[in-house]
């Protein structure tokens, strides 16, 4: 009798644990996105309700030109899909997408089309509101990324090498819009112990991360600045927190090669 009660209790605990992890975490191998779709965000907080097509935002064509920090710190974009709450009015007042998509830094909501001596404004909503619009003008992924060093995962571009080889010139500020700042150099390499027998340790490079993220993408929201104060596990990362706040969404995936992070053999 007691034995049966124990078995029931164990099954109940296991069911609760599986429930907290979420039905999508285990049991099915995730689909691997196409290279240009890795880091794609479909924004639809207001669009469908307002009877316009949802907006497609791709990371690959934006990270070719800008640091993550510029958008996610200075311009205020959230790092979770759908959390920013951008409105068309914001964009028309030079905020969020409109900080660039104003016809100066990048295309805006309308452009002037010349016909002989006269010119008239032409709306270009579909370039952003592109879901279900196969004819919307699109940047050509292969043409735009030609000549960049390749990788075998994510966008299939080795972003770190591309920047290090001087093939990308990342802008970290928008003159007149964001505040000019002087980057902090912090060359420290943090070795993170994997806390599991046999699992190689993780060497975290501040130098390489700071190029894209500055300091403020990570500190203090994601990580504390005292070694060891932030407690997390691999499961947290797989669920999109800590290193997983970027990796597996925009930065390289976590289920491709564990060795990308677990680089240092313990024995």
Restricted to residues 183-212, the positions that interact with ligand HEC (CB under 6 A) are 184, 186, 188, 190, 192, 194-196, 199, 202, 204-206, 208-210, 212
Q: Counting contacts by CB under 6 A, is residue 157 touching ligand HEC?
A: no
For ligand HEC, which residue of 6, 11, 225, 266 counts as binding (CB under 6 A)? 225
Between the two ends of the chain, the Cα-to-Cα distance in Å is 48
Contact set for ligand HEC, span 232-251 (CB under 6 A): 232-235, 237, 242-243, 245-247, 249-251
Nearer Cβ to ligand HEC, position 7 or 53?
53
User: Considering the complex, what minimum distance in angstroms separates the CB of residue 181 from ligand HEC?
Assistant: 11
The CA distance from 106 to 70, in Å, is 15
How many residues belong to the site for ligand HEC (CB under 6 A)?
Answer: 109
The CA distance from 6 to 69, in Å, is 52
From the list 214, 265, 254, the residue with the least C-alpha distance to 72 is 214
Structure tokens at 191: 């070795």
From the list 167, 212, 165, 210, the residue with the least C-alpha distance to 67 is 212
Nearer Cβ to ligand HEC, position 7 or 139?
139
Q: Counting contacts by CB under 6 A, is residue 260 touching ligand HEC?
A: yes
Contact set for ligand HEC, span 56-75 (CB under 6 A): 56-57, 59, 61-63, 65-66, 68, 70-72, 75
For ligand HEC, which residue of 197, 228, 265, 267 counts as binding (CB under 6 A)? 228
Question: What is the CB neighbour count within 10 angstroms for residue 25?
Answer: 13
Residue pair 266/200 in contact by the 8 Å Cβ criterion: yes
User: Considering the complex, what minimum distance in angstroms separates the CB of residue 12 from ligand HEC?
Assistant: 24
User: Considering the complex, what minimum distance in angstroms separates the CB of residue 165 from ligand HEC?
Assistant: 14
From the list 44, 46, 61, 47, the residue with the least C-alpha distance to 106 is 61
Alpha carbons within 13 angstroms on the beta-carbon side of residue 3 total: 0
Residue pair 238/197 in contact by the 8 Å Cβ criterion: no
Residue pair 75/96 in contact by the 8 Å Cβ criterion: yes
Q: Counting contacts by CB under 6 A, is residue 218 touching ligand HEC?
A: yes
Structure tokens at 4: 């049966």
For ligand HEC, which residue of 104, 219, 241, 264 counts as binding (CB under 6 A)? 219
Contact set for ligand HEC, span 100-129 (CB under 6 A): 100-101, 105-107, 109-110, 123-125, 127-129
Question: What is the CB neighbour count within 10 angstroms for residue 246?
Answer: 21
Q: Counting contacts by CB under 6 A, is residue 81 touching ligand HEC?
A: yes
From the list 57, 22, 66, the residue with the least C-alpha distance to 38 is 57
Structure tokens at 214: 């500055």
Q: Counting contacts by CB under 6 A, is residue 145 touching ligand HEC?
A: no
Contact set for ligand HEC, span 83-102 (CB under 6 A): 83-84, 86-89, 91, 96-97, 99-101
Contact set for ligand HEC, span 15-44 (CB under 6 A): 41, 43-44
């Amino acid at each position: 009798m007691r034995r049966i009660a124990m078995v029931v209790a164990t099954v109940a605990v296991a069911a609760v644990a599986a429930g907290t992890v979420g039905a999508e975490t285990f049991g099915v191998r995730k689909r691997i996105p196409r290279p240009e779709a890795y880091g794609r965000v479909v924004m639809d907080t207001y669009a469908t309700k307002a009877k316009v097509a949802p907006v497609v935002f791709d990371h690959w064509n934006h990270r070719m030109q800008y640091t993550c920090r510029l958008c996610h710190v200075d311009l205020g974009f959230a790092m979770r899909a759908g959390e920013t709450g951008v409105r068309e009015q914001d964009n028309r007042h030079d905020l969020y997408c409109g900080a660039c998509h104003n016809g100066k830094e990048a295309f805006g909501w309308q452009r002037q089309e010349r016909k002989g001596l006269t010119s008239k404004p032409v709306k270009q909503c579909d370039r952003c509101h592109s879901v279900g619009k196969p004819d919307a003008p699109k940047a050509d992924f292969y043409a735009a990324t030609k000549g960049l060093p390749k990788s075998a995962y994510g966008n299939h571009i080795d972003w770190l090498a591309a920047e290090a080889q001087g093939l990308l010139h990342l802008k970290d500020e928008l003159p007149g819009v964001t505040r000019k700042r002087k980057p902090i150099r912090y060359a420290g390499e943090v070795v993170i112990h994997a806390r599991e027998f046999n699992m190689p340790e993780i060497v975290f490079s501040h130098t390489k991360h700071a190029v894209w993220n500055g300091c403020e993408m990570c500190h203090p929201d994601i990580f504390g600045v005292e070694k060891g104060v932030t407690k997390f596990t691999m499961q947290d990362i797989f669920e999109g927190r800590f290193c997983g706040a970027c990796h597996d969404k925009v930065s390289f995936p976590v289920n491709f090669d564990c060795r990308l992070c677990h680089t240092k053999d313990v024995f």
